Amino acid sequence: MKTYTRALTIAGSDSGGGAGIQADLKTFSALGCYGMSVLTALTAQNTKAVTAILSVPPAFIAEQLKAVLSDIGADAVKIGMLHSPEVIEQVARTLTEFGVTTIVLDPVMVAKSGDKLLQDEAIDALKTYLLPMAKVITPNLPEASVLLGRPVETAADMLPAAVELAKLSSGAILVKGGHLNSAESTDLLYVSAEEQHWFPTERIKTENSHGTGCTLSSAIAAGLAKGLSIVEAVAAAKVYLTQALQAGAVYRLGHGHGPVHHFFNVWQ
């Protein structure tokens, strides 16, 4: 009897379909995983803005998690938008209860439109409860700045930031360089003091970059679920995202930041 490679996303819903739960499930499917979801919030969102957020009660988030993990299980879990300390603590407690260890944490704080998605008081909870549990953490430069309480803005800032973030976690740190003011979008994977990997990638000229962070972290989770090492999973995820950005650049959807093309390898 065949079995699926199981990937679970714990994140918010994007009604526009480009980021959040929707981007995660598309990525899992495109990369050969059976995707499952636990919704933490509903957003009224399109390519231009987030106009409203409706939080899911922490107890119901736990019920969703228990329903999935007690029956289906998960080979890897990707965590995205967790908006409050109570939600963060509940998710950490339930994942611990079920012995989940392959966790990719994308510390989502601000939408592409600039709308804030994380309460200020949730940042300490994120560092206390979830950073120590994650196998990989994927902050961009603004998110690294918030987590560390100091500016992280240049390529020279990335390694010191990764070293400092590694002290808060037992996992690897992927500092994403999409916000760098350069011709390349270079990411740094910090595995240990002895092992670091730089991933320089030509910057794709496109307005359709909504959901890139969600897509990358989900692709990493898919790779880990399929048994890849952390370095292999990150490398494969970078290739997938770059191709999705290239394919999506020729499309037009909405009037703001459109999505990447998650299914470029299936249809054009």
Q: Are 50 and 117 in contact (CB under 8 A)?
A: yes
The per-residue pLDDT for 108 is 83
> What Cα–Cα distance (Å) separates residue 221 from each residue in 24, 33, 84, 95, 99?
10, 10, 23, 15, 17
**Whole-prediction pTM:** 0.96
Residue in the structure block whose two tokens are 């107890």: 59
The Cα–Cα gap between 55 and 57 comes to 6
Spatial contact of 16 and 26, defined as CB atoms under 8 Å apart: no
Tens digits of pLDDT across the chain (268 residues): 999 999 999 999 999 999 999 999 999 999 999 999 999 999 999 999 989 999 999 999 999 999 999 999 999 999 998 988 999 999 999 999 999 999 999 998 765 555 556 667 788 999 999 999 999 999 999 999 989 999 999 999 999 999 999 999 999 999 999 989 888 889 999 999 999 999 999 899 999 999 999 999 999 999 999 999 999 999 999 999 999 999 999 999 999 999 999 999 998 7
Give pLDDT, residue 30: 98
Domains of the chain in start order, with CATH, are: 6-249 (3.40.1190.20)
